[in-house]
Amino acid sequence: MPLEVLPLTGDSIEWDAFVRSTPGGSPFHLVAWKRAVESSFGHRPHYVMAVGEHGIEGVLPLFEVRGLLGGRGLISVPYGVYGGICARSAPARQILLAHARELARRVGAGYVELRHRAGQELDLPTKSLYVTFSRPIMADDDENLMAIPRKQRRMTRQGPSSVSTANSACNTSMRSTTSTLTASTHWARRSFRAGCSPPSSRSFRRNASS
Cα torsion for 78, 115, 1, 21, to the nearest 10°?
A: -90
Tens-binned pLDDT, residue by residue, of the chain (210 aa): 799 999 998 778 999 999 999 988 999 999 999 999 999 999 999 999 999 999 999 999 999 999 877 889 999 999 998 999 999 999 999 999 999 999 999 999 999 999 988 766 777 888 777 677 677 888 998 888 888 888 878 877 775 554 444 444 444 444 433 333 333 323 323 323 333 344 555 666 566 656
- Quote the CA–CA distance of 70 and 85 in Å, as a whole number: 26
Nearest by Cα to 116 from 103, 106, 107, 125: 125
Q: Report the CATH superfamily, name and number, of domain 4-209.
A: Gcn5-related N-acetyltransferase (GNAT) (3.40.630.30)
Q: Where are the domains of the chain?
A: 4-209
Burial (CB < 10 A; 0-12, 13-18, 19+), residue 108, is exposed
pTM score of the predicted model: 0.69
